[in-house]
Structure 1
Amino acid sequence: MQRFFLLLTTVLLVSFTARAAAPLGADTVRLTLPEAEKRFVENNLTLLAQRYNVSAAQAQILQAKLWDNPTITLEQNTYNPQTHKALDVTRTGNTAVQVQQLFSLAGRRKAATNVAQQNALVEQFTFEDLLRNLRYELRSTFYDLYYKQQSVSVYDKEVASFQRTVTLYQSQYDKGNIALKEVIRLKAFLFQLLNERQALLSDIATEQADLRTLMRDTSGAYYVPTADLNHLRALSLAGRTEDQLIDSAQVNRADVKARQAAVQQQTQNLRLQRALAAPDLAAGYVYDRAGNYIQNYNAVTLGIAVPIFNRNQGNIHTAQQQIEVSKAQLGQQQLVVQNDVQEAWRQARQTDQLYQSADRETSDFDRLMKGIDESYAKRNLTVVEFLDFYESYKNNLVQLNNLRASRVRAFEQLNFAVGRPVFQ
């Protein structure tokens, strides 16, 4: 049974080791954050769709400014019983022409234009808020990928070192110098490392797909994000307070601006509904060649509806209520923004404090592990002690990368909550 387990473990190790971080056939491309953001802004399909919504809303401003088309009516007698002519267009027949133009009163066209302008603003701020959300997703994915690939490098280094150790002790076992159980323990630990590495690679594959989707990339390239470590280490909350960031968010957040524009839109809509209560004036001109009390009759016409029954009461009341609804939604969004910033501030402060207090120097660990390898080779350590040191070494580096990623993500979350890049 032990020999079977040893053979099975060896086959699995060879199979896992053959897998590289980048998919087979995929081009490996180094990518900086500015490059990713540029491609995202230019190519993202969701942003493109919202841009069309903005353009459509702006076109409605032009539409609201347009005058109503004039109406031209032609009247021609079909049969003249005196002359026995059909459709008689001569002087013995009759032709009447009427031209009519509708004029909006009480500033209805201006009010409709103002409503359209506010609607275009709502769409513009909706676009900016979408950009804010997707940019946060892009930047978070970028840094998550960066630090996960750093952790994969830790596993690669440890797996390569451990494979040499396993090969050495396998040869010692073949010579009968060590027990089989020690080789099995070493191979089992190596198998554990490869499993953890593979789980990390699966997460990376998912985020690679997310990154390519955000940038509208169909090449299937495997991206290797590059970051300025000195710049990331220098991130700090110093010089900024929670209240300052809350005030900044209330001014800069596009979702708040969209709610404010919605309040103005409903206010303008109330003015439009009141203007619609005033009837339109229809002015026209009539020419009647032979069908009136005199030949070649010319007249001016004026028409207006008498607002007795319908004074647009229902729509005016609805518009008034919609103003109150939009004001309540604005207040709710401002409360959401305040809580977002407060929570993001606390998370960033706590994570940064943990990062600043952590021992981020890894060179000592590298020297220590070199000594551990030598001590184990000299049989000064048991296999249990040796594996415990390796486990601690790996956990320290991986957790350090997780802490770095959490810290950068916390600062990105704070930027997202404020609505502008406070921390670049």
Structure 2
Amino acid sequence: MSSDPVEAIQEPERVESLTLADFEGIAIQNNPTVASAAARMNAARGNQVQAGLYPNPVVGYHGVEMGLRGTSGQQGGFISQRFITGGKLGLDQAIAGKEIDEAHFRFHAQEQRILSDVRVRFYDALVAQRRVMLMKELAQIGDKLVSATEKLIEGRQGTENDLLQAEIRSDESHILLDNAVNQEVEAWRRLVAVIGLPTMKKSPVTGELDGDLPILEWESCYARVLNGNPALQAARMRVDRARIVIQRAKKEPIPNIDLSVSHRHHNVTDDNVTNVQVGIPIPVLNRNQGNIRNAEAEWVRACNEVKRIELDLQDRLAVAYRRYANARQQADRYSNRMVPRAKRSLKLVTDAYEKGQVEYLTLLTAQQTYLQVNLSYLDSIRELRAASSVIDGQLLTDSLSVRP
């Protein structure tokens, strides 16, 4: 993908609904951290160009013995140049090249953070949307049961307390519906924040919430994270860079050559004089010992940083995979057994209550069970989608957080 600064696109107008792929594409084009990461990579390329440039020559004028015997003395000019030896410029460029590689991996790491965040928040929005539908259903059931209870009282099969309880439950269901709507709005606002369009008008999100659920295995997930995590690859580039820095530090004592050529006219004798001067520092006292030692220590630190990141990835993957495994088995049980049974139970009890065959307490219990089972199912699906998105995203998240 191009690393040039990204031009933001206009937010979609009058969109009926948006899919996960739509949000991912918008995010990559509009999230400001993509342009920041691209700018970092371009800066590294500029550093590489600068690292290979030779020192500029120095051109100057000199005049001596001016006024001698009433003349202008010696008048002339000079040119000097420093010649870099020992392949230092090539090593400087190689160091900058590794910084480009690191910036490249950091760029792709940031892209992955954005995609992971989009996927997590997309499914949060999808779950919130489903929760609103569930609460609307319960609110309708509550309103319907109030009417049914009133009819039972008219037929002398219900009590005033039954009606009060039905009205309370109906009001509670409407409160839960309002809360669900607010949660849906929150999920939408967080989603459009991460895609870089915070004022985007709310529209339905379309996707498979509980269909085509991912099946993940620990071994393959672990191998994929260690082999493909771009943040880890960036750390490995820092090891390579540190190795070249050691080589560069050991080349520093090789003296550069300073060459100066001057030419002047002696106005007293009318002679032209040319001087050539060559100088090199003698590395007797300073052989760059301290910087070599510093570079070697930095290489050790970089190597251990790679090991630390690998261990940290395993630690975080263990947590994410446990979340996924728990959510997967919960979602399977809820979907295949508990949700259908709770729905069937509520229908049977509701029909019986409307006929005056069961007490309101039995109906209340069935309602609570139906609500709790469905909410728990949605929570398990949300957790499953979030955990699998984090794992698929190489454990890279929090795209809007500040990073050095």
TM over 0.5: yes
2:218 alignment counterpart: 242
Q: Which residue of 2 aligns with 1:108?
A: 88
Matched, 1:307 2:283: yes
SS in 2 for 1:95: strand
Alignment of 1:294-373 (within 5 A): 295-360=271-336, 366=343, 368-373=345-350
* Cα root mean square deviation, aligned: 2.9
Between the aligned partners of 1:292 and 1:201, the Cα distance in structure 2 is 99
Which segments of 5 or more consecutive residues in structure 1 lack a partner in the other structure?
Answer: 1-25, 85-91, 420-424
User: SS at the partner of 2:204?
Assistant: strand
The answer on whether the counterparts of 1:28 and 1:221 sit within 8 Å (CA) in structure 2 is no
- Which range is displaced more, 63-72 or 200-209? 200-209
Match of 1:193 in 2: 173
In the alignment, which residue of structure 2 is the partner of 1:137?
Answer: 117
Aligned length: 383
Instruction: Verify: 1:390 aligned to 2:377, yes or no.
Output: no
Task: Say which of 352, 355, 379 aligns to 1:375.
Answer: 352
Q: Which shows bigger deviation, 186-195 or 307-316? A: 186-195
Q: Secondary structure at the match of 2:205?
A: strand
Q: Say if 1:194 and 1:291 are closer, same or farther in 2 by CA, change over 3 A.
A: farther
Following the alignment from structure 1 to structure 2, what is the Cα–Cα distance between the partners of residues 186 and 357? 31
Mapped contact 2:123–2:209 kept (Cα < 8 A): no
1:177-201 deviation per Cα after TM superposition (whole angstroms, max 9, x unaligned): 8543322211221222233333333
TM-score normalised per structure 1: 0.81
Task: Give the drift of 1:308.
Answer: 2.1
Aligned counterparts of 1:395 and 1:259: Cα–Cα separation in 2: 46
Aligned to 1:68: 55
What displacement does 1:142 show? 0.6
CA contact (8 A) 2:82 2:259 kept: yes
CA distance in 2, matches of 1:208, 1:214: 10
Following superposition of structure 1 onto structure 2, how do residues 146-185 of structure 1 map, counting pairs within 5 Å? 146-167=126-147, 169=149, 179-185=159-165
Deviation at 1:323, TM superposition (A): 0.6
- The superposition leaves residues 40-70 of structure 1 with CA deviations (integer Å, 9 ceiling, x where unpaired) of 1111012221211111111101111111111
Give the CA deviation at 1:263. Answer: 0.7
Residue 20 of structure 2 corresponds to: 33
- Secondary structure, in 3 states, of the residue corresponding to 1:296? strand
CA offsets 1:77-125 (integer angstroms, 9 cap, x no match)? 69536447xxxxxxx5532211111111111111111111111222222
Check 1:396–1:252 CA distance in 2 against 1; reply closer, same or farther (3 A cut). same
Given that 1:71 and 1:101 are in contact with CA atoms closer than 8 Å, whether structure 2 keeps it comes out as: yes
Identity over aligned pairs, percent: 16
- Structure 1 residues 76 and 355, CA gap change in structure 2 (3 angstroms): same
8 Å Cα contact 1:106/1:275 also seen in 2: yes
Q: Which runs of 5+ in 2 are unaligned?
A: 1-12, 397-404
Report the counterpart of residue 45 of structure 2 in structure 1: 58
Residues 29 and 221, structure 1, Cα contact 8 Å, conserved in 2:
no
Asked if structure 1 preserves the Cα contact closer than 8 Å seen for 2:102 and 2:238, the reply is yes
Tell whether 2:25 aligns with 1:49. no
Bigger mean CA offset, 174-183 vs 341-350: 174-183
User: SS of the residue aligned with 1:224?
Assistant: coil
Q: Which residue of 2 aligns with 1:278?
A: 254
Selected match of 1:202 from 178, 182, 189: 182
How big is each residue's C-alpha offset from its partner over 1:202-247, in whole Å with a ceiling of 9 and x where there is no partner? 33333222211111114342242211358524x323xxx5334322
Instruction: Measure, in 1, the Cα distance between the counterparts of 2:54 and 2:324.
Output: 56
The SS at the match of 1:31 is coil
Partner SS, residue 96 of structure 1? strand
